Each structure stands twice: as structure tokens, then as C-alpha cells.
Amino acid sequence: MKKLYVVGIGPGSIENMTLKAYNVIKECDVIVGYTKYLDMIKEIIEGKELYSTGMRSEEERCRLAIKLAKEKDVAIISTGDAGIYGMAGLILELCNEEEIKNVVIVPGITASSAAGSIVGAPLMHDNCNISLSDLMTPYDEIKERVDFAAKSDFIISLYNPKSKGRPHYLKECIDIIRQYRDSKTPVAIVKHALREGQNSLVTTIDNIDYDLVDMMTIVIVGNSKSYIKDGQFITPRGYNTRC
Ligand code: SAH
């Protein structure tokens, strides 16, 4: 039995990958992942056995990776962190079923951290991630979490904010958050953070241009103390910065 690595490749540029993720990918014989993710790291996977297209579901891809890891070292890749809406959980669940113990999870920079670094320091206080994808979570549950997170004054990073099938969810969730936030609350809209095509905007909760948002975007909403200064989105930690 060889090793099965579940690797978070970070946002998608080689320089923002951890050294461990880089080394693991370099050393594995087989790489499994979406075509567009493989494409992001193509310069380091040349000549390896690649599995991407032709697999309908994530489960199918995970099962294939588990099977291949019986013979060779395999890396199955996610963007960002593999443990945040990535492949780590499903791999472990499937491996537990089969009592397979050769899994190693390699973390990466998740989208909220990547986006945060571009717009300033929005995540400096207690924060949470909420995915607006209703493929596996009922929309009512998502809205309830948004409500509780807003009520509890968390900074909220909205993953999977928009898709063709659910164009209105983002606005509906922002409307929930607005019940608890000032109209000037900072909002960051960051597309393709730290990879080719990067685009970012810092605005306020009342001025969001929803047309800018798509599935390649993350939306970060500040807490009640977040502010914008010289275009930077800052959430104070609470240090006394007055001299
Ligand atoms: N495992 C990933 C998240 C996968 S869910 C991670 O840890 O980052 C997919 C969603 O993540 C996208 O719809 C988008 O909202 C967000 N995302 C992932 N990479 C991104 C990037 N580079 N820039 C902006 N958003 C990104």
C-alpha cells in the first residue's frame, strides 16, 4: 500500500503553494484532479500519470484515487485548502469505509486568506466561512447560518457565492446580513485571488455590484468594527493604536 496525499494547492499559482504541497506533487507518480486545477500546476506535473476528465462525480474521482494508491503514490488535488470544501473529507470517509490508513492531508492557503491578503486585513477577528452552494446543504440551512453568523458579529467569507442555477442567493444572504450591519460595512469582492486573472474590489454592503460576482469569486463581509482606509479593508483586533 502506497501513500494517498490529499493536497491543497493554494489559490493556483506555484509561488503560493506550500513547500510541502510542491514536494509531494513532485514526488507522486499519479495526480488526480479537475482539468483546470491540473492546468494551474502543469509546469510541475509534466510526464506524470494524470487523471482528470471522464469522471462524472467527485466521489468517482476519490474512489479512483484510493484504488490507484494501492499501487503507486497518488496526489489528489483541491485548490485552496483540501480540508475546506475540498476533497479531504470525502477521501477520509471513503477510506474509513474500507479501513484504508495511508492518507496524508496536505493543507494549503484557502480562498479567504488569499483574498484577505489582497484587500488588507479583513479577517483579523473571529470569522467564518459559509458556502452558498446548496448542492449538499439545503438553502434554508445556509440562510440560517448566515443569520446566526451575522447576528454573532463574525466576519463572513462567502464561498461559492453565485452560480447560474442560483443567481439570487448572494443578494438574499447579504440582505440577511444587513439586518445586523451598518450600511458602510466593508465588503471585498475578489475574483481569482493570487492567480491569473486576479481582480478585486473593496466596497460597502449597500453598494455591492452583484454582476461582478461569479463562481470564481469570494465575498468577504466585515464585522461591526471593520472599516475602509485608503482603499484597504481592515478589521481591528483591538490594539490601542493611538500614541
Ligand atoms: N478548497 C477551496 C474552496 C473550494 S469551494 C479553498 O480552500 O479555497 C470553491 C469556491 O472557493 C469558489 O466558488 C470561490 O468562492 C472560492 N475560491 C476558490 N479559489 C478562489 C480564488 N483563487 N479566488 C477567489 N475565490 C476562490
Q: Whose grid coordinates read 447576528?
A: 151
Residue 222 has pLDDT above 90, yes or no: yes
> What are the CA-CA distances from residue 5 to residues 24, 31, 32, 88, 151 (Å)?
8, 9, 10, 9, 38
Q: Which residue in 236, 238, 208, 237 sits closest to 220, CA to CA?
A: 208
pLDDT digits (tens, 9 = 90+) for 93-143: 999 888 888 999 999 999 999 999 999 999 999 999 999 999 999 999 999
**Range name among 93-107, 141-155, 210-224 with the lowest pLDDT average:** 93-107
Interior/surface letters 77-110, b for 16+ CB within 10 angstroms, e for the rest: bbbbbbbbbbbbebbbebbeeeebeebebbbbbb
- List the grid coordinates of 43: 509546469
Q: Which residues have any ligand 1 atom within 6 Å of their CB?
A: 11-12, 78-81, 84-86, 110-111, 114-115, 159-161, 190-193, 195, 215-218
**Alpha carbon distance 132, 113 (integer Å):** 18
**Alpha carbon distance 235, 222 (integer Å):** 7
Residues 133 and 185: beta-carbon distance below 8 Å: no
Residue 7 has pLDDT above 80, yes or no: yes
- List the grid coordinates of 78: 483541491
Mean pLDDT of the chain: 95
Which helix or strand (DSSP H or E) is residue 30 part of?
strand 30-32
pLDDT digits (tens, 9 = 90+) for 72-84: 999 999 999 999 9
Instruction: Tell which one of 160, 163, 164, 219 to mutate to probe ligand 1, the residue whose CB is within 8 A of the most ligand atoms.
Output: 160
Output the pLDDT for position 55: 56
Arithmetic mean of pLDDT, 50-75:
88
Arithmetic mean of pLDDT, 179-189:
98
Output the pLDDT for position 110: 98
Residue 159 C-alpha to ligand 1 middle, in angstroms? 6
Residue 151 has pLDDT above 70, yes or no: yes
- List the grid coordinates of 230: 485608503
Output the pLDDT for position 99: 81
Output the pLDDT for position 56: 63
Residue 243 has pLDDT above 70, yes or no: no
Residue 99 C-alpha to ligand 1 middle, in angstroms? 30
Phi, psi of 234 (to 5 degrees): -125, 135
Output the pLDDT for position 57: 81
Report the largest interatomic distance among the alpha carbons of the chain, rounded to a whole angstrom.
63
Residue 81 C-alpha to ligand 1 middle, in angstroms? 9
Output the pLDDT for position 100: 83
